């Protein structure tokens, strides 16, 4: 599943479609570090932007290129559509459903184990074994985009038949032998709800060990900040959450709220980035595994927590829950905050979210 794209803010809005590296303007004061940005478009079917502070452009480029290379590797591992020479990936697992276990890299094993554990413990709304159902929705969306006048919702009997092949307990992970086996030959994995966030978290932890300690990675709406902005002015990054009714851009109308944070992730799931219309009905991509229909409680849900993979999982899960149930879940989890945008435009937030919101008085500036 694709996520909506929050607008990354670091003093000014910097979300832009460009490639390569550019030095950013800073206030006129002596700086030890300069700010740079680097953008690439060839991973996870989205725009990925790296912003950070380094002593030189050469140093920053070195970090950014390592991030790019690693994200490409993870994109290939989590790809359900394509095969790559010398790699077993999600597609390889699906192709061998009901046939044999597939030996895979640790990054696949760990992602599947995390999602299985969270599915059981924090809400059965994000199921990586829902691939057979999501494939049907994807086909109907593609047909609607090609011929909007003929757009339709999949018949429930077809969805129910596919749903008979979504038992996550039939995803067998053998950690010792590093294999994954789908017991049901008609089932398939789809890790799109968590892959970008999980990959981003892997990359951030690795690049910090390389010495890059002040930056943000924005991967298709999965925003992960690490360290503090080294500009001598701020000690927190600012992330703008998109207004569901606004146009993606840099105008005030496009920004619903700004949150200030460091060493944390912001992930938003919403109904307004990937959808098609059937008459006057918006049909979006966030499918409830119980109803097999798009979630219908909210316009958007934003999650703030440290781990980007878990934030990705939770944003979908909470989006597909009634408000009281989702709020109870969020408040039961340490270090997790949330913001809900209801269909009438009203907003609810957790107490911890209030403390980092611009509209509630929060700021990224260093306290004097």
Residues comprising the binding site for Mg(2+)?
193, 312, 316
**Per-residue H/E/C for the chain:** CCCCCCEEEECEECCCCCCEEEECCCCCCCCCCEEEEEEEEEECCEEEEEEEEECCHHHHHHHHHHHHHHHHHHHHHCCCCCCECCECCHHHHHHCCCCCCEECCHHHHHHHHHHHHHHHHHCCCCCCCCHHHHHHHHHHHHHHHHCHHHCCCCCHHHHHHHHCCCCHHHEEEECCCCEEEECCCCCCCCCCCCHHHHHHHHHHHHHHHHCCCCEEEEECCEEEEECCCCCCCECCEEEEEECCCCCCCCCHHHEEEEEEECCEEEEEEECCCCEEEECCEEEECCECCCCCCECCCEEEEEEEECCHHHHHHHHHHHHCCCHHHHHHHHHHCCCCEEEEEECCCCEEECHHHHCCEHHHCCCCECCC
Binding-site entries: 193, 312, 316
CA 193 to chain centre: 7
């Amino acid at each position: 599943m694709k996520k909506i794209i929050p607008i990354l803010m670091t003093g000014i809005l910097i979300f832009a479609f460009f490639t390569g590296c550019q030095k950013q303007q800073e206030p006129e004061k002596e700086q030890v570090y300069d700010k740079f940005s680097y953008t690439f478009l060839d991973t996870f079917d989205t725009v990925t932007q790296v912003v950070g502070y380094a002593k030189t452009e050469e140093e920053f480029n070195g970090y950014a290129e390592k991030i790019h290379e690693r994200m490409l590797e993870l994109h290939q591992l989590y790809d359900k559509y394509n095969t790559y020479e010398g790699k077993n990936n999600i597609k390889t697992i699906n192709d061998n459903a009901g046939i044999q276990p597939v030996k895979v890299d640790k990054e696949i094993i760990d992602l599947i184990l995390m999602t299985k554990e969270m599915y059981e413990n924090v809400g059965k709304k994000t199921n990586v074994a829902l691939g057979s159902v999501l494939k049907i929705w994807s086909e109907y969306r593609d047909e609607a985009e090609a011929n909007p006048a003929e757009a339709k919702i999949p018949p429930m009997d077809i969805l129910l038949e596919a749903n008979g092949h979504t038992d996550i307990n039939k995803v067998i992970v053998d950690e010792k032998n590093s294999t994954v086996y789908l017991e049901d030959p008609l089932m398939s994995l789809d890790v799109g709800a968590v892959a970008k966030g999980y990959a981003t978290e892997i990359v951030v932890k690795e690049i910090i060990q390389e010495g890059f300690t002040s930056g943000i990675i924005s991967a298709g709406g999965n925003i992960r900040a690490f360290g503090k902005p080294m500009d001598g002015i701020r000690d927190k990054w600012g992330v703008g959450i998109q207004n569901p009714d606004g146009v993606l851009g840099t105008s005030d109308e496009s920004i619903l709220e700004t949150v200030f944070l460091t060493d944390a992730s912001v992930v938003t799931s919403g109904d307004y980035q990937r959808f098609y219309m059937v008459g006057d009905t918006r049909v979006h991509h966030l499918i409830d595994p119980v109803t097999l229909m798009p979630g219908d409680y909210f316009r958007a849900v934003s999650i703030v927590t440290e781990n980007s993979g878990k934030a990705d999982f939770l944003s979908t899960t909470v989006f597909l829950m009634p408000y009281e149930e989702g709020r109870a879940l969020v408040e039961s989890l340490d270090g997790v905050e949330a913001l809900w945008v209801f269909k009438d435009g009203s907003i609810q937030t957790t107490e911890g979210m209030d403390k980092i919101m611009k509209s509630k008085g929060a700021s990224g500036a260093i306290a004097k």
